[in-house]
Amino acid sequence: MKITFLGTSAGIPTKQRNVTAIAVQPHQQADWWLVDCGEGTQHQLLHTSLSLSRLTTIFITHLHGDHCYGLPGLLATRALQGGSQNIPLTLIGPAGIKALIEGICHHTQLYLNYPLTIIEVNSIPTTLTIDQHQIDVVPMEHNITSYGYLISPPDIPGHLDAAKAKALGIPPGPIYQQLKQGKQVILEDGREIDGSDLLSPTTPAPKVLIAGDNANPQQLLPWLKSVSLLIHESTLTEPELLRLATTIHHSTAAAVAKVANQAKLANLILTHFSARYRDSSNQGKLTINDIRQEASKHFHGQLFLAEDWQQYTLTTEGKLLLTQLIQKPNNTPAINC
């Protein structure tokens, strides 16, 4: 699975970061999903190889503008671009998203030349099946209805025991491909061989939980039991939250890190950073490194702080690799937090 961050800022964009959007490529193919679509997401996509015609599903965590104001432009551009005509698109989100899109289409006379299916999540638990992946909708604690999406890929098929096949007198060749798929085959001597008897057991694929805005990471613990990667907002640090002395309906780096560590997660990516945190050192100013330092005190797994256009690969073994950082348009080098 590949995960590309298209926007990592909370609330408003900065010069280095756009508002929230995450692209997910669940397969090796070019089809992909989008989790949240803040304003300017379609422009962020221009700096990637992702094609709107291969976008099959959009998940919206909640209806705050920094997570959904990019939808009208993206849907319209998909209709105007060649190659998208008649290719279905599914949009999933909280109650109200259908009225939002239908209102925009009506009042702006936006015509979509492809089937758009809108699925509103009205109750929890809700489980969906998208491209052979199980999607569990996870409730968040926020000042409006907010969800996360737990992505469970299909189990990884077992490997063919070639030595066992050879011992049965099955010669290597095209028939091995059928056996790898667990199919029954008939040999030249008339014997019937069940391919599933020659396969090692299937293994669960790594799971990913992409959380929406959430003030209470602790409530995610029941969902994190078998998760390999948590992607969660980290809007502020603890000292800044205390200084503000107000309810922000968001999480601090420490709060998320403590829960991730309690769940014994292998991988944690923090995103959705307040614009008050700068990307470079500036004496007397808050920096992204403050968030990293706070999180690293409490989480002992592999920790990443997302940047726009960073791409991660989650391997079938559950290892998370930073595989690509797309060159930023202004040629600003990547900042190591």
d(CA 64, CA 94): 11
User: Do the annotations mark residue 213 as ligand-binding?
Assistant: yes
- The residue from 36, 66, 279, 290 that is catalytic is 66
Give the three-state DSSP class for 327: coil
Per the CB < 8 A criterion, the answer to whether 271 and 312 are in contact is no
Q: Indicate if 66 belongs to the active site.
A: yes
Cα angle: 123, vertex 212, 5; to 5 degrees:
135
249 is in an annotated binding site: no
Rounded Cα gap, residues 272 and 251, in angstroms: 10
250 has binding-site annotation: no
> What are the strands of the beta sheet with 302-305, ordered from one edge?
126-130, 133-139, 147-152, 207-210, 227-233, 267-271, 302-305
Ligand-binding site membership of 64 (annotated): yes
Helix (H, G, I), strand (E, B) or coil at 313: strand
DSSP 242: H
Cis peptide before 125 (omega within 30 of 0): yes
Q: Is 107 annotated as a binding residue?
A: no
**Which residues are part of a known binding site?**
62, 64, 66-67, 142, 213, 272
Catalytic residues: 66
**Which residues are part of a known binding site for Zn(2+)?**
62, 64, 66-67, 142, 213, 272
